[in-house]
Structure 1
């Protein structure tokens, strides 16, 4: 009797259903947890993503299980109606915020509330650097189509080059939701690895003299300019690309809340409580999409490889355009700030600051790099809107 109970207990455990694929993904999740905790690589995002991946690959937990629905005939009306026979898992319901495109705009609301657009206003030329860094998106889009991906799939893969996780999730949820897992993990992993990926590219494309350039202090931006900026950008971008309205609109709403000075409570909530809650939900559910069954495929390896190419080319394009501005300005622009055109805010700007200070300890590029960095956020949202317009049907 006891032996029968023991056998029944063992058969009900996840150990019985554990496959080599599950074990591989568990190891991957543990590596990501190590990078987040020990190395500090974007832990706010990487830690919940890695733990979500861990949960999804522990068999029989059912956290991402879809609800079981059956169609029955109503005995009173005779009409066919759906009836939920079994509820889905917890993460399945939280994941609807990703699938329905709810979480990414809320993240943008927080980003807008936390970001000072002053450097971009003070130096409008930064928009060109932000735009140049989006080149990786369109280059990789072409590469993905060559490798056999459809137009919507290629657009979703290419957007990884913007180094903007919420934008990648938003576009993929609209165009190719079956690729959400690998695209999300690739996008957020490369965002976390910005301090490792970008510096070698930056050094390879610039000379020591260029990296040592000290830029002039930015002018003081007035409060009126800061208030008008999000309003004007919202109107222009939404009229030009209505499909970009959810991302651009919420980004600018967050910034207006910050700069208006009349809703301090809302500003603090957007920057802290709301953003933190959404990041937890988004991170865990995105990680949970990376199950062994969905993730361990040849297409996933292609996506991860293309994502790295997209991010690298975006960084290189920003630096190259920075070199052009260096030449045209007579050596007054440090090309390193071009790398901040990818929209990993504010990490890419910090990397530009760090690489610049390594060459010249008295060099302070952070505020100059924030201009292209903010422009990159806007640029990636606009690029996503354009791709959604072309492939969204």
Structure 2
């Protein structure tokens, strides 16, 4: 039997819902409420699938109806939402200065902290609040582990001018995407830092020519790797994007280290994580990555996509790999400087090892060093390799390949359409 629960929320409280089985249908009956900064429409039904975690917050009180026996829900008044609202208000002050004085620029804020503390969610809230003020911020995602803007293994940016859809998130139809090709910066630190600098340069150019983007500012999400080389990646990113504020979520040592290592003009803020955040296992993170790739090709239950499957000849494509084997110095002519093998682009012959591999589509006409710095045109997955006929069967979001240069990644995806 379907359960119907009507919840009355007091001001500044949050209804947290976890969908354990089936689905949960949520409806705002009275008052005003929001999910991660996007306002709920009154009497509109929102359906959340199994595995969803949702927090419905109200500043002034609301009545919410939840339908579904598999939904686990509770209310809490221990929520950092007012802190996030204050952070937004501080960013808005900087925007007002930039609006009245073109020599100033909008805010540049970076969210840092370990895995699963809610960095992506806070970025979403801050972006939504700025859109509600008529702003057009730039959301930058440096978290190659999840790839919220495109697919895992990428970093990129979207130029936001409307609130995130409650079910679908932000409009990512025209993202700026760089292919890193792995799910942790540790796989290739020189490449990671190079791409961060490249992305920062493109964002700076955009802000220089687009007044709305300059005023709206930049909100940056980062990886959850905060120790050792991961920490250095955060410091490098703060420098590349010239951030003037960093929010550290739930990590005192990281807060103190950044206070020590970043320039004194950078404001470092330490903020709590929401009690609604949950730590995910490695398996859950892997499942989430797979779902993210599935969504890229097949869409969601609310807006389905129909990808294409077709064959291409080995001779019609060029496969590039970023990172070559390191040559021992003894093999080099005397006095020769070793090129950074981590960022060297080399050609790879198609083989059966490519099955289930995600490949990035490069706009380059040939395999060259330009493959690294050019934003990608999309992604394909190799479903089959036939060595006899010298063909690959590709899963593609596009009807045909827009370019013949495909870039290898270490990311695998098993196309389950026929399962």
- Superposition TM-score, scaled by structure 2 size: 0.23
Structure 1 or 2: more helix by fraction? 1
Greater relative contact order (CA < 8 Å, ≥ 6 in sequence): 1
